[in-house]
């Protein structure tokens, strides 16, 4: 009877030893996990630091060549002149809004963009659809539309001067049918000439982008649509346009940007002060810069930047709405 407490004590001791052994095993099991976690954390920290070092030059470049200059432009738009630097807040903006040349330039620029950009997008898409089919001389047509991209701006201007000069080839051809001569670049037809020039120069690049996007549409979806007796226009509207939404957005934005860059051709064709219908925003800014009127120039730049951001934001919202079911 008196030996039972000794057995109980021994059992308790053995139980405690077993518990301690289990705890040691648990600690030993947790140790590698903890070490792996520490190693992973250190590796992640090193990756973040190395990634930051790689990104740092690009970030500094953006700061130096975009953010800081844009900040300076905002500052200039709020002062009367760089010497006295008195803040006038929105006086420069109200002054620029009342300027006749500025209003003419804005009206012409947006009229040109409103006509040229949709034409560039629609025509290039139609060309891509036509050339997607197995037509004879397809590669030759593609090369023909891409050739303007390889022509320097000076050569483009020379070609257009030969064509649309008062004594140019277009007037010579129309004279064969008894029509009178037109000074194309110094009349109300000047903006039509610039739109044709813009389309001739940009259709090829947009067409290639659309052809690449059309070739990436899954063939099985198109085959199922054909088996379900879908008409070609239904396939185009309900399938192809959905898959082309991101490309449509990109082409529209690039065409919009290029429409603002057409100043080079107009300037070389018509000089500082062209016919009123082709007096663009870049003409106004160039002439304002020549007059050293940095305050009004900065105010105009800020206003145009805001308009561009709003337009691009609307395009992104439209693309997100019409392309969400495909991307999702």
| CATH class as words, domain 92-327 | mainly alpha
Domain ranges of the chain: 1-77, 92-327
Q: Phi then psi for 151, rounded to 5 degrees?
A: -95, 130
Gap between the Cα atoms of 133 and 288, Å rounded: 50
**Rounded average pLDDT over 248-266:** 87
79: three-class secondary structure by DSSP? strand
Highest mean pLDDT among 46-60, 136-150, 249-263, 314-328: 249-263
Minimal CA–CA distance to 198: which of 279, 260, 240? 260
First to last CA, the chain: 79
pLDDT digits (tens, 9 = 90+) for 33-61: 556 666 677 777 777 787 777 778 887 88
The answer to whether residue 327 scores a pLDDT higher than 50 is no
Distance between CA 23 and CA 26 in Å, rounded?
Answer: 5
Taking only the tens place, the pLDDT of each residue in 274-294 is 788 888 888 888 888 888 788
303, 132 contact by CB (below 8 A)? no
Tell me the average pLDDT across 179-201: 86
CA-CA distance, 113 to 203, in Å (whole number)?
Answer: 15
Which pLDDT value is given to residue 46?
78
100-132 and 190-215 are packed helices; what angle lies between their axes, rounded to 10 degrees?
A: 40
**pLDDT at res. 131:** 83
Residue-level pLDDT at 2: 46
Ranges of H-type helices in 216-280: 219-227, 232-235, 241-243, 245-260, 263-270
Confidence of residue 9 (pLDDT cuts 50, 70, 90): low
Q: At 55, which helix (H) or strand (E)?
A: helix 4-62
Tell me the two tokens of residue 115.
């006509």
Note the pTM of the prediction, 2 decimals. Answer: 0.74
> Using 50, 70 and 90 to split pLDDT, how confident is the model at 123?
very high
If you search the block for the tokens 């949709």, which residue do you land on? 118
């Amino acid at each position: 009877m008196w030996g039972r407490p000794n057995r109980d004590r021994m059992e308790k001791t053995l139980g405690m030893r077993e518990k301690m052994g289990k705890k040691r095993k648990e600690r030993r099991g947790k140790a590698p996990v903890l070490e792996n976690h520490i190693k992973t954390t250190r590796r992640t920290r090193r990756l973040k630091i190395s990634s930051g070092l790689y990104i740092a030059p690009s970030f500094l470049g953006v700061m130096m060549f975009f953010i800081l200059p844009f900040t300076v432009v905002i500052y200039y738009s709020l002062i009367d002149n760089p010497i006295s630097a008195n803040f006038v807040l929105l006086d420069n903006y109200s002054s620029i809004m009342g300027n006749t040349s500025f209003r003419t330039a804005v009206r012409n620029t947006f009229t040109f963009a409103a006509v040229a950009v949709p034409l560039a997008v629609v025509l290039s898409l139609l060309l891509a659809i036509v050339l997607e089919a197995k037509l004879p001389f397809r590669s030759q047509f593609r090369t023909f539309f891409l050739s303007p991209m390889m022509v320097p701006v000076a050569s483009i201007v020379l070609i257009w001067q030969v064509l649309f000069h008062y004594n140019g080839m277009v007037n010579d051809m129309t004279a064969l049918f008894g029509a009178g001569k037109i000074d194309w670049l110094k009349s109300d037809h000047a903006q039509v000439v610039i739109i044709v020039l813009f389309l001739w120069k940009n259709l090829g690049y947009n067409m290639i982008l659309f052809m690449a996007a059309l070739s990436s549409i899954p063939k099985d979806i198109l085959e199922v649509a054909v088996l379900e007796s879908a008409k070609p226009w239904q396939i185009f509207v309900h399938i192809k346009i959905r898959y082309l939404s991101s490309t449509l957005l990109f082409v529209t934005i690039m065409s919009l940007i290029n429409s603002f860059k057409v100043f080079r051709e107009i300037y070389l064709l018509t000089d500082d002060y062209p016919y009123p219908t082709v007096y663009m925003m870049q003409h106004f800014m160039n002439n304002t810069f020549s007059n050293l009127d940095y305050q009004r120039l900065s105010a105009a730049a800020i206003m145009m930047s805001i308009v561009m951001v709003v337009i691009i934001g609307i395009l992104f919202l439209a693309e997100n709405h019409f392309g969400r079911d495909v991307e999702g």
